[in-house]
Amino acid sequence: MPIPSAILSLVLGMALVLTGLWIGQNVELLPVAASLNAPIYDQLFKVLFSIGSILFIGIFGLLVFSLIRFRRRDGETGDGAAVEGNLQLEIFWTAIPAIVVLFVGIYSYDIYDRMGGMVPLSDPHSMHGAAMAPQASDGSAGAVIQASVLGTPLEPSKRIWGGIGSGQISAGPALPVEVTALQFAFLFHYPQGDITSGELHVQKGQPVELRMEARDVIHAFWVPEFRLKQDIIPGQPTLLTFTPIKAGSYPIICAELCGPYHGGMRSTVVVHEPDEFATWFEKNNTATVAIAPSTSSTG
Residues 222-247: tens digit of each pLDDT: 999 998 888 999 988 888 888 999 99
What is the Cα gyration radius of the chain? Answer: 27
Q: Is the pTM of this model over 0.75?
A: no
Spatial distance between the Cα atoms of 299 and 295, rounded to a whole number of angstroms: 13
Query: What's the pLDDT at 113?
Result: 81
Q: Cβ neighbours of residue 280 under 8 Å, at least 6 residues apart?
A: 201, 272
Determine the Cα–Cα distance for residues 227 and 287; give it in Å rounded to an integer: 33
Would you say 186 and 222 are in contact if contact means Cβ atoms under 8 Å apart? no
The full length of the chain comes to 299
Average pLDDT over the chain, rounded to an integer: 79
Contact 223, 250 (CB under 8 A): yes
| C-alpha to C-alpha distance for 223 and 191, rounded to whole angstroms | 22
State the Cα–Cα distance between residues 61 and 65, nearest whole angstrom. Answer: 6
126 pLDDT above the threshold of 60: no
Residue % of the chain over a pLDDT of 70: 76
Q: CA-CA distance, 107 to 176, in Å (whole number)?
A: 31
